[in-house]
């Protein structure tokens, strides 16, 4: 029997004034005459973001949600090239630790999905440097929260740059240039245009990276309709991780905009998937990627209750009998 645990992404539609992604543009920052005062303003925004994130975790606890994607924008301008002199960590260490302690005390799985500009197979050295810098920022957030960084950041393979095979091999070459602590932080996900789950598994098996299967992406970008034949290989990539297998669920907005995420998630799709993989592994953590965030998770739970084969462990966790 497999336990299925539902989670959602970064923001709440139910908790008011709770954005963990408030920001300040560098243009605004640079227009402030007192640079030190400008840094303090950034720190106040960051503290508010972290505080709001803690509010969201408390909201999640009330709903038995123990799987959550943190916003990568907790600290605005943290990686900006003009702010290398800003030691944000010194001022935010206590806040980050409080956030991490709450997650750990309540056995919550938290992780990140850095922005699309984090590309490890780019042929441009500058893009690779910025990507590595952004990964270091995420590693610092996790260590500040005292959350083990291993297998906490989901990435896509990157761009094809005119030659898919070379793009895959460039990923391997660039991977070897990163230090081990950043390598261990990464998970790889199949995307909706270029790199299929088979491409991801090629890298995962070669480099020892757990593969995150995105069903919607597979449907938008597949060479074969079947995915279940690759499921044993996906599970095998998680053997080196202390965390449960992770997958992504989302539904297409419509046929015309198939790749775009809908407001909610189709319960029939989730149930069919759960039926297929039930019994193959102890636990699957399912990240709901939907425009309606926690509302989408709550509706999905309600919709799944129509299936008598599903038994609920709590408000967001179920098994299929």
pLDDT in tens, 209-266: 999 999 999 999 876 678 999 999 999 999 999 999 999 999 998 888 888 899 999 9
Contacts of 193 (CB under 8 A, 6+ apart): 220, 221, 259
Task: Quote the mean pLDDT of the chain.
Answer: 96
Q: Which spans in 83-154 are helix H?
A: 88-105, 125-144
Mean pLDDT computed over 100-115: 98
Tokens of 42: 């950034």
Mean pLDDT computed over 293-315: 98
pLDDT at 224: 64
Mean pLDDT computed over 105-121: 96
Q: Which residues of 173-211 are buried (b: 16+ CB within 10 A; e: fewer)?
A: ebbeebeeebebbbbbbbbbeebbbebbbbbbeeeebbb
Mean pLDDT computed over 294-302: 98
pLDDT in tens, 163-202: 999 999 999 999 999 999 999 999 999 999 999 999 999 9
Query: Is residue 308 pLDDT above 80, yes or no?
Result: yes
Tokens of 267: 């319960």
pLDDT in tens, 7-34: 999 999 999 999 999 999 999 999 999 9
Percentage of the chain surpassing pLDDT 90? Answer: 95
pLDDT in tens, 27-77: 999 999 999 999 999 999 999 999 999 999 999 999 999 999 999 999 999
Q: Which spans in the chain are helix H?
A: 26-31, 35-62, 88-105, 125-144, 164-175, 180-183, 197-207, 215-220, 231-237, 267-277, 293-304
Q: Which spans in 65-124 are helix H?
A: 88-105
Q: Does domain 114-240 have CATH number 2.30.30.790?
A: no
Report, in this order, helix, strand and coil percent for the chain, each rounded to 5. 45, 15, 40
pLDDT in tens, 140-151: 999 999 999 999
Identify the DSSP state of 285. E
* All structural domains of the chain with their residue ranges: 114-240
pLDDT at 217: 94
Mean pLDDT computed over 104-122: 97
């Amino acid at each position: 029997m497999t336990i299925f645990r539902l989670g959602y992404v970064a923001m709440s539609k139910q908790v008011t004034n709770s954005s963990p992604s408030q920001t300040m543009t560098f243009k605004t920052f640079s227009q402030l005459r007192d640079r030190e005062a400008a840094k303090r303003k950034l720190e106040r925004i960051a503290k508010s973001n972290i505080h709001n994130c803690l509010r969201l975790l408390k909201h999640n606890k009330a709903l038995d949600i123990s799987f959550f994607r943190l916003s990568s924008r907790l600290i605005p301008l943290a990686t900006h090239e003009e702010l290398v002199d800003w030691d944000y960590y010194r001022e935010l260490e206590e806040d980050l630790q409080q956030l991490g302690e709450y997650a750990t005390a309540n056995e919550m799985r938290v992780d990140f999905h850095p922005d699309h500009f984090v590309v490890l197979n780019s042929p441009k050295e500058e893009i690779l440097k910025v990507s590595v810098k952004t990964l270091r920022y995420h590693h610092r957030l996790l260590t500040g929260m005292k959350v083990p960084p291993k297998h906490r950041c989901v990435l896509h393979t990157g761009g094809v740059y005119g030659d898919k095979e070379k793009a895959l091999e460039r990923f391997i070459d660039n991977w070897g240039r990163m230090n081990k602590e950043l390598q261990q932080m990464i998970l790889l996900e199949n995307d909706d245009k270029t790199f299929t789950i088979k491409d991801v598994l090629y890298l995962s098996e070669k480099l020892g990276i757990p593969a995150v299967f995105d069903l919607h992406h597979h449907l938008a970008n597949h060479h074969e309709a079947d995915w279940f034949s690759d499921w044993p290989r996906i599970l095998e990539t998680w053997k080196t991780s202390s965390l449960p297998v992770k997958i992504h669920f989302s539904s297409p907005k419509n046929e015309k905009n198939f790749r775009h995420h809908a407001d909610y998630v189709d319960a029939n799709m989730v149930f069919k998937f759960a039926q297929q993989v039930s019994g193959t592994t102890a636990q699957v953590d399912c990240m709901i990627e939907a425009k309606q965030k926690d509302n989408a998770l709550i509706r999905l739970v309600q919709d799944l209750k129509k299936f008598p084969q599903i038994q609920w462990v709590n408000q967001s966790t179920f098994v299929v009998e």
